[in-house]
Amino acid sequence: MSKDNMVKGNSIVVSENPVSFYLFNSTRSAWIWLIIRLYVGYAWLTSGWGKVTSDAWTGSESGTALSGFVGGALGKAEEGGDVSGWYATFLESFVLPNASLFSYMVAYGEVLVGLGLILGLLTGIAAFFGSIMNVSFLFAGTLSTNPLLFILATWLVLAWKVAGWYGLDRWALPFLGTPWGRKNT
């Protein structure tokens, strides 16, 4: 065993390399995550706000836009292309019958993810739910910015301890009892 590793109880703890330590544990890297957070948060907030203010998503015709989106995804599944059969079944049997509910969930979910990332509040959780939405859109055959946003959201989830340092997480996470505080800088 190398001198960098140590035995702790029944476990061998492998020391972290300097690059990943800097990126995921040091608040000195928080400026990198701030830039990424603001970019991803802005993308989610503007997308969600467009839906929240649209009657086809959250107004008198809620579910109309989502039904059209799902219809397009189902068309891609029939062509044997971009949408898997199991996901098409999920969309057809669960999402379409509840299109109005899912429409509200998507619209307000996007706004909440965007606000969480921009404010740096519960950054890891916000990024996780953003990545779930990105994957859902990818499964439905929509590329757009989803692959990039998914990768960035995944990195934000990994960097949750420092990604919100320049944000409300700096105070909220210690208050909530998470494992880091100011002494770990």
Whether residue 26 is contained in a domain is answered as: no
Instruction: Name which of 64, 48, 98, 78 is nearest 141 in CA terms.
Output: 78
Q: Given this model, what pLDDT does residue 140 score? A: 95
Whether residue 148 is contained in a domain is answered as: yes
Instruction: Name which of 132, 146, 131, 143 is nearest 76 in CA terms.
Output: 143
Whether residue 94 is contained in a domain is answered as: no
Q: Given this model, what pLDDT does residue 179 score? A: 59
Beta bridge partners of 11: 8
Instruction: Name which of 53, 54, 58, 40 is nearest 133 in CA terms.
Output: 40
Instruction: Find the domain containing 134 and state its range.
Output: 31-58+101-184
- Contact status, residue 71 vs residue 142, Cβ threshold 8 Å: no
Q: Given this model, what pLDDT does residue 79 score? A: 67
Whether residue 11 is contained in a domain is answered as: no
Token pair belonging to 63 = 């579910």
Instruction: Indicate the helix (H) or strand (E) that contains 58.
Output: helix 55-58
Q: Could you give the number of structural domains in the chain?
A: 1
- Evaluate the CA torsion angle 137, 139, 142, 147 in order and state its sign: positive
Q: Given this model, what pLDDT does residue 9 score? A: 79
- Environment class of 19 (CB within 10 Å of its CB; exposed 0-12, middle 13-18, buried 19+): exposed
Please give the chain's pLDDT, 185 residues, in tens: 555 667 777 888 888 899 999 999 999 999 999 999 999 999 999 999 999 999 999 999 999 999 999 999 999 987 667 899 999 999 999 999 999 999 999 999 999 999 999 999 999 999 999 999 999 999 999 999 999 999 999 999 999 999 999 999 999 988 888 755 445 44
Q: How many CB atoms lie within 10 A of CB 120?
A: 25
Q: Given this model, what pLDDT does residue 185 score? A: 44
Whether residue 73 is contained in a domain is answered as: no
**Residue 27 DSSP one-character state:** G
